[in-house]
Amino acid sequence: MSGSSARVERQVDPLAQLTINTIRTLSMDAVQAANSGHPGTPMALAPVAYCLWQRFLRFDPDDPIWPDRDRFVLSAGHASMLLYSLLHLTGVKAVNAKYERLGELSVPLDDIKRFRQLDSRCPGHPEYRWTSGVETTTGPLGQGVATSVGMAIAARWMASYFNKPGYDLFTYRVYAIAGDGCMMEGVSNEAASLAGHLQLSNLCWIYDNNHITIEGNTALAFSEDVATRFLGLGWNVLRVGDANDLDMLSRAIQVFHKTTDRPTLIIVDSHIAYGAPNKQDTSAAHGEPLGEEEIRLTKQNYGWPKPDEKFYVPDGVREHFAAGMGKRGKELRTAWFALFERYKKDYPELADQLERMQKRQLPEGWDKNLPSYPADPKGKASRDSSGEVLNAFAKNIPWLMGGSADLAPSTKTLLKGLPSFSATENGRNLHFGVREHAMGAILNGLSLCKVRPYGSGFLIFSDYGRAPIRLAAIMEIPVIYIFTHDSIGVGEDGPTHQPIEHLAGLRSIPGLITLRPCDANEVVEAWRFLLQLSHEPVALILTRQALPTLDRSKYASAEGLHRGAYVLADAPGGKPEVLLLATGSEVSLCVEAHEKLVAAGIASRVVSMPSWEVFEHYCSKHPEYREQVLPESVTARVSVEQASTFGWGEYVGPRGKRIGMKTFGASAPLKELQKKFGFTVEAVVAAAREVLGK
């Protein structure tokens, strides 16, 4: 460390200093052993993390999923060894997918020794569900702090819903450590703007102001006054001039605790320095080990007992954490569960809801009183039927909440008769403003706190929120994305608002389910299906234009959606010559074409394919189903979708024809666009005849 920092450190309690230096040396040794990683930030921030965890964090290492624990988010995910060192030294226990505590360490020392290696619990960036004690997957800068806003919203909503006089079940706070990169990413500003507007006083970001990025000093590209920016966003801003000053750090966190009308940003000045007292180096801040000699010199500078021993944890360090954070967390958790036992007697229905919510289960009667839709050639837009179904489910599931990126009147996602979530109210209607990227991350934070969130926008703007959608899939959390205006059906708004490649892009994300229902009854089944998911995010793709409501007494039941694809209309005798495959608004087009083909003596079959992912998953368990729906002997196939044809080759095969978009759209009324780009009954019939050679 620098000479001035060393003078401050000598004033620190020796056991506290030893613990801080253990965090640093574990980080250095792990990065060196992996020959990969970022040792600088964990070393610089070790005092900050120690102060927060040991003196303030309400967290029980024996139960890292206790509902009222404080949340700690390492948004600067490249500094992952800081978190892994803390998880190991505090003795955080592992929890499995069934929410069972296993009694073993979440991060054993052997996993630290295998940092960034295959199957280690210490991957390069922190991963939720992989390492207990990691509250969210981080790495893409800015995502962690944005996600923390969702956690803070969840905390406030849960307190308003579950807390009763004498029963403060939810009081937790949310802390996030951010770096210069997080501050540069636009998503952090989107999220901070909303957090300030909502006056989320339970939220604290700690900004590591070390002036270093991969390319060098931040002066290359970053010179703004962060403090002034956050003051303008409605935050309380505090400054700690030396990351090693534990007392000043403690005072800043105490001020955060006393602040009741706004979130808090603590700007902490730190330096990345190693070896000899005044040697500074930026290379190890991002992606380079220090080297054996530099590590030895740095350990000597710390006064380390065994500078040549790797992964050394001195006696007393684990016990020090156990006597501080561990003792406090255990007492708080024990008191909470005792309180909850009494709560169950006084408020049994709420207690049951809370237990179900924590396990991602649904309440009794969750799918009662749903709308049903009779056959109607005029029909309605799937965004409209979705809004009706959403409102029906919201009455049955109290923790279903969400909103839109300033488009609720268009996406039909307002929960009618319910208040909004604002600085003064804790309703279930969220207003994200024109902030698609932050919305996605905030939804992740809500889901990680076991709220069931949805967010909505136009499909074209899924691009703006793709990063958090991808992270939701990695984390296996059931976030609901409602995307309307799903095709060139947007019409006059033109190519800037007409999605083309977006369906293919969303389908390419592993673990994400896309659902594009063809009529109002498929919409009902889509919602019924997706709400039962506990580990998969879903993109629900909906139209602006009206879709005919199919006559289900004539055609197959919409329940087929639960299998991803199903035979909607079949050839006489169930022996088709040609298959017409479609999703969403193009299914009714295929049904009309099917009727004309059958009338002309051509045996056709219409297959509605609302979800490729669900279909593939179902067929993996029931291989015979694929043959039932898509018989291999029928090679004459036509796919129809008002989007890129990318991916349809898997289903139509080499003899098939794909009717879709090969260019961007155009600005014109819908019917003109459909004619221009070949989405007509006549075009489908012609394609069917072509692949049949008739």
List active site positions. 436
Q: Are strands 604-608 and 578-582 parallel, antiparallel or unpaired?
A: parallel
Q: What is the phi/psi pair of residue 360, to 5°?
A: 55, 40
CA distance 187 to 324: 35
Beta strands in 485-526 (DSSP E): 513-515
CA distance 127 to 666: 42
CB-based burial, 254-268: b 16+ in 10 Å, e otherwise: eebeebeebbbbbbb
**Would you state the structure tokens that stand for residue 103, as one six-digit string?**
């009694």
* Residues sharing a CB contact under 8 Å with residue 323, sequence separation 6 or more, in sequence order: none
Closest alpha carbon to 283 in 116, 40, 44: 40
- Helix 292-302 vs helix 14-34: angle between axes, to the nearest 10 degrees? 180
* Residues sharing a CB contact under 8 Å with residue 20, sequence separation 6 or more, in sequence order: 9, 12, 46, 47, 50
Q: Where are the alpha helices (DSSP H) in 79-142?
A: 80-89, 109-113
User: How does DSSP assign 214-274, residue by residue?
Assistant: TTEEGGGT----HHHHHHHTT-EEEEES-TT-HHHHHHHHHHHHH--SS-EEEEEE---B-
3-class DSSP assignment, residue 206: strand
Q: Residue 608 carries which side chain, given as an amino acid letter?
A: S
CA distance 649 to 523: 26
Give the per-residue SS3 of 423-461: CCCECCEEECCCCHHHHHHHHHHHHHCCCEEEEEEEHHH
Q: Of all helices (H) and strands (E), which one includes residue 616?
A: helix 612-621
Q: Which residue's structure tokens are 């079949």?
A: 570
Cβ pair 110, 129 in contact under 8 A: no
CA distance 228 to 173: 24
**What is the Cα Rg of the chain in Å?**
28
Strand order in the sheet with 429-431: 429-431, 400-404, 452-458, 480-484, 538-541, 513-515
CA distance 209 to 184: 12
CA distance 694 to 689: 5
Beta bridge partners of 680: none
Q: DSSP character for 323? A: I
User: How does DSSP assign 677-688, residue by residue?
Assistant: HT-SHHHHHHHH
**Would you state the structure tokens that stand for residue 579, as one six-digit string?**
């298959």
**Would you state the structure tokens that stand for residue 407, as one six-digit string?**
């488009």
Q: Cα-Cα-Cα-Cα dihedral of 488, 489, 490, 496, to 10°?
A: 0
Q: 12-15: which pairs have CB atoms within 8 A and are 24 or more residues apart?
A: 12/244, 12/246, 15/316, 15/317, 15/320
